[in-house]
């Protein structure tokens, strides 16, 4: 097992993990800029840029990009997040230079052809329309807006139909040149990779990015509040969130374990109480998500509209019980085992490992050993989870509902116990 890290002259980090037992390599370019880096008037531009990167370069057409990677049996994809954007591929060992050539080409020399731009605008508008047909997507967008109102981190990554229709070629080029800088980028590879060969290719293809770091985005300010949509669906979706921990916070792993204990599987408290004992929903889950400077602890469930008040009341009661009485040691041990299993499983997947390496560099500025991560998990005690829930309940909550609520008055009486301001969303 060989883990190596280097830097290009422009500050771009190159990291690799050689896994001799595999014949493929997963390789990707991660940029420490996403939707939160968008300026006023740029809502959705980070995601639009990610799409347009595949629509032709000065050397390749959109069809060329697709045909070249598939001709060698490879896969090519990308993703835009709040804090980062990623472009990645998976190919056979011998085709690593081709994969890196394509990946570098689409970010170094995108053409932003006007015809392709108009065509992809239509694709993204359909992606937005699809999200508006998904009650879960609507609910998560609303709770994010309630948590971080009036801020890029509180807006949908996709943008709006209005903002997407307004983008021109210049918007794409401006965002790319402002945020795709060497010190904010990581080239990560895992699997059948030779670090020396990777560095040589990277030096040839990725040395043109700016050498100074891009300006950091404005800090996230958590507020909390209520957003509701009465759009009709078969179920009413309820999403409850609290301010969580950022990636580097000492309690980050405490939040992960707490989410697992409350709603991380069939043995979790919320699943057992809400679904198994009361039959109020089909699925319920909790998760802790982090940003570079903030985060959210989120619970999601969906059930019948005439029992939404009961569903929410049970969730609230379980949180109060956790704050008052804490967690049993066996609960915490079970979730720790699940979390460590996930961490170690990631070492067996070249794509998951490459992403893990890149995120560690972007978040921590260094690589974290598996032993260090496991130690962080093992260090968490049951009392830490209880303190975390107490702290959450003492702070403003964020609540989003999508779908009708038959007994609104009863539901509102439950939500008032969280003492959050009420607004409405169309």
Catalytic residues: 50
Q: Report d(CA 317, CA 180) in Å as an integer.
A: 46
* Cα 24 to Cα 349: distance, rounded to the nearest angstrom: 10
C-alpha span between 254 and 382 (Å, rounded): 9
In degrees, rounded to 5, the angle at the alpha carbon of residue 267 between the alpha carbons of residues 370 and 385 is 60
Helices 169-179 and 45-52 pack at an angle, to 10 degrees, of 100
What is the distance between the terminal CA atoms of the chain, rounded to a whole angstrom?
54
The residues pairing with 76 across neighbouring beta strands, listed in sequence order, are 89
> Do 199 and 360 meet the contact criterion of CB atoms below 8 Å apart?
no
Q: Are 357 and 17 in contact (CB under 8 A)?
A: yes
- Residue 191 structure tokens: 């699997």
Nearest to 88 by CA among 80, 78, 74, 98: 78
Nearest alpha-carbon partner for 321 in 389, 418, 245: 389
3-class secondary-structure state, position 408: helix
With CA atoms as reference, report the closest residue to 144 among 65, 46, 243. 243
Burial of 399 (0-12, 13-18, 19+ CB in 10 A): buried
Strand 185-191 versus strand 85-92 pairing type: unpaired
Give the Cα separation of 140 and 385 in Å (integer).
24
State both tokens at 399: 């609540």
């Amino acid at each position: 097992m060989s883990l190596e890290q280097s830097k290009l002259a422009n500050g771009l980090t190159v990291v690799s993990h050689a896994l001799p037992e595999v014949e493929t390599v997963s390789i990707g370019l991660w940029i420490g800029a996403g939707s939160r880096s968008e300026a006023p008037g740029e809502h959705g531009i980070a995601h639009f840029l990610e799409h347009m990167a595949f629509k032709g370069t000065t050397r390749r057409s959109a069809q060329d990009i697709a045909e070249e990677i598939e001709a060698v049996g490879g896969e090519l994809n990308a993703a835009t997040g709040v804090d980062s954007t990623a472009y990645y591929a998976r190919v056979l060992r011998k085709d690593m230079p081709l994969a890196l050539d394509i990946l570098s080409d689409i970010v170094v020399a995108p053409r932003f052809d006007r015809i392709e731009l108009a065509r992809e605008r239509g694709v993204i508008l359909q992606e937005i329309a699809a999200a508006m047909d998904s009650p879960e997507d609507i609910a998560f967008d609303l709770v994010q807006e309630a948590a971080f109102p009036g801020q890029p981190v509180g807006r949908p990554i996709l943008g709006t139909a209005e903002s997407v229709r307004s983008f021109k070629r210049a918007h794409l080029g401006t965002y790319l040149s402002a945020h795709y800088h060497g010190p904010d980028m990581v080239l990560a590879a895992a699997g059948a990779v030779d670090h020396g060969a990777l560095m040589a290719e990277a030096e040839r293809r990725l040395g043109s990015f700016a050498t100074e770091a891009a300006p950091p985005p404005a800090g996230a300010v958590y507020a909390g509040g209520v957003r509701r949509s009465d759009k009709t669906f078969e179920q009413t979706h309820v999403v409850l969130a609290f301010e969580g921990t950022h990636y580097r916070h000492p309690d980050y792993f405490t939040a992960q374990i707490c989410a697992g204990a409350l709603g991380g599987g069939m043995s979790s408290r919320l699943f057992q109480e809400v679904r198994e004992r009361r039959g109020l929903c089909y699925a319920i889950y909790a998760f802790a998500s982090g940003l570079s400077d903030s985060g959210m602890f989120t619970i999601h469930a969906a059930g019948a509209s005439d029992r939404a008040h009961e569903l929410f009341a049970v969730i609230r009661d379980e949180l109060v019980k956790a704050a008052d009485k804490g967690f049993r040691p066996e609960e915490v041990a079970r979730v720790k085992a699940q979390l460590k299993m996930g961490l170690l499983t990631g070492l067996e997947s070249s794509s998951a490992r490459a992403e893990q390496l890149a995120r560690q560099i972007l978040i921590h500025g260094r690589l974290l050993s598996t032993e260090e991560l496991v130690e962080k998990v093992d260090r968490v005690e049951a009392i830490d989870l209880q303190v975390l829930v107490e702290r959450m309940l003492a702070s403003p909550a964020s609540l989003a509902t999508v779908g009708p609520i038959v007994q609104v008055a009863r539901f509102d009486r439950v939500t008032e116990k969280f003492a959050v301001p009420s607004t409405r969303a169309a």
